[in-house]
Amino acid sequence: MRCPFCGNLDSRVLDSRPADAGQAIRRRRECGECGKRFTTYERVDEVPLVVVKKDGRREVFDRNKLLSGLIKACEKRPVSVERLERFVAEIEKELRNRMEPEVNSAIIGELAMDWLREEDEVAYVRFASVYREFQDVQNFMQELEKFLKR
């Protein structure tokens, strides 16, 4: 495994453990050249899951992109990154279990919003404001009213 710090190909595994509810193996490594430590994840190589975007473009599902959006929504909120990683793993598992090669981005967005609605109200509003692409305060208020009715 290439060291992200010095590029050396020689590293040794210090610790291995299951991650993402058994869907991956997390390995702590130490570079044989610079001595710095880093983490890698090993996953089963699966058939790509293609996401169909709002504008019709298609791109391969990127769990890190979803995780990044959720982390931004939950910034300075009491939601741990580990909890977010487990949720992203659940979403990916659900999408792959559908056995469909393509999934509409709206499905992923709605799954994320449903979870955030229950997990953290502020994070939900933050995520919704980006996901729904509010054009003005009126759109924002309509979403808040829907949220409060639930």
Structural domain spans, the chain:
1-45, 46-149
Q: Please name every residue paired with 26 in a beta bridge, in sequence order, or none if there are none.
A: 17, 41
* Closest CA relative to residue 124, chosen from 66, 73, 63: 73
3-class SS string, 30-91: EECCCCCEEEEEEECCCCCCEEECCCCCEEECCHHHHHHHHHHHCCCCCCCHHHHHHHHHHH
Determine the pLDDT at residue 48.
86
Average pLDDT, the chain: 89
Determine the pLDDT at residue 135.
67
List pLDDT tens digits, range 73-88.
999 999 999 999 999 9
List pLDDT tens digits, range 96-138.
888 888 999 999 999 998 999 889 888 988 888 777 766 667 7
pTM for this prediction: 0.62
CA–CA separation, 69 and 128 (whole Å): 11
List pLDDT tens digits, range 31-87.
999 999 999 999 887 778 999 998 999 999 999 999 999 999 999 999 999 999 999
Determine the pLDDT at residue 136.
67
Outline where DSSP puts E strands in 79-126: 102-104
